[in-house]
Chain A
Amino acid sequence: MLGIGPCLSAWAEQRPILIQDITRETRWPEWTARITGLPLRSVLSAPLTTEGRRIGAIKVYSSAPNAFDDHSVFLIERLATPAAVMLGNARDREATERMSSQLVEALSNRDLISRAQGVLMERMKLTARETLTVMLSASKGGDKPLHEIAREIVNGMTNQ
């Protein structure tokens, strides 16, 4: 990863970037040095942005110089808008799914800990808060996650 180049500029500056001819391009010297030798003469890159969020950039290459003009810029921007919306939606959906699976896990552990609290309250005649203190010190002392301690307490009860 170079960290510089026309695509990143398109993304950072939020505007389309057009390179008519790589051999005469001076704005990204490190990038042009790297791609020398590749069958690549002109580049068109447009930012992918939806609702103010910068998703990335889309790019088209050509092996011929001066392959793109103002109409190409118009076309790529027409394409970039729906592409950014679709990518943004896919990203949101993924984030939501990840979030809800974490929440399901957190809820089931919370439930497990509450059940273990109930067991300890009955067995040791403690308050709910005191049982959590007992489980916390067991977790710290035994280097086991709190929900593992709770699971052992709940399982120990059901096995008896």
Chain B
Amino acid sequence: MESFDEPNGQAPATRRAMEEAGLRLNAVWMRYFSFTGEAGEYEIDAYLNGSLELPAHERDLISHAVNELIKELPPRRMAPYSGKPPETHQEQNSSSENPS
């Protein structure tokens, strides 16, 4: 019933995404936990480092937690064009659909 097969290197790719975005394990686990994830932080660590297999369902919850946290990171600074005033932070905020 549980699908444990992990053909495409989901764990190492997830770990790379975390590292590149500078996400901490605790933050990822907390988000995953809020998604009703059942594995503990220690198990997530083991999964990311290739020493524990998790069912596809839990793996996808971890991936989704990582992806949500990446989307919440502040946008990268953009280069300005000639003759235009630099875009202010205000404008960047109003263009996103953040409800806060």
A: which residues have CB within 8 A of B? 102-103, 105-107, 109-110, 113-114, 117, 129, 132-133, 136, 139-140, 143, 145-147
Contacts and interface: CB of A to CB of B under 8 A. Distances in A.
A132 B30 CA distance: 17
Given A110-B33, A117-B36, 10 more contacts: A105-B34, A106-B30, A106-B31, A110-B34, A110-B36, A113-B36, A132-B35, A136-B60, A146-B35, A146-B68
Given A106-B31, A129-B57, A114 B68 contact: no
Interface string B22-48: 000000001101111000000000000
A113 B68 contact: no
A112 to B, nearest CB: 9
Main SS at interface, chain B = helix
A55 to B, nearest CB: 21
Interface residues of B, number: 13
A110 B36 CA distance: 5
Contacts, number: 38
A142 to B, nearest CB: 11
Contacts of B30: 102-103, 106
B100 to A, nearest CB: 12
Contacts of A143: 71
A134 to B, nearest CB: 13
A145 B61 CA distance: 12
Contact of B36 (A103, A114, A140, A145): A114
A146 B64 CA distance: 9
23 contacts: A102-B30, A103-B30, A105-B34, A106-B33, A106-B34, A107-B34, A109-B34, A109-B35, A110-B35, A110-B36, A113-B35, A113-B36, A114-B36, A132-B57, A136-B60, A136-B61, A136-B64, A140-B64, A143-B71, A145-B68, A146-B64, A146-B68, A147-B34
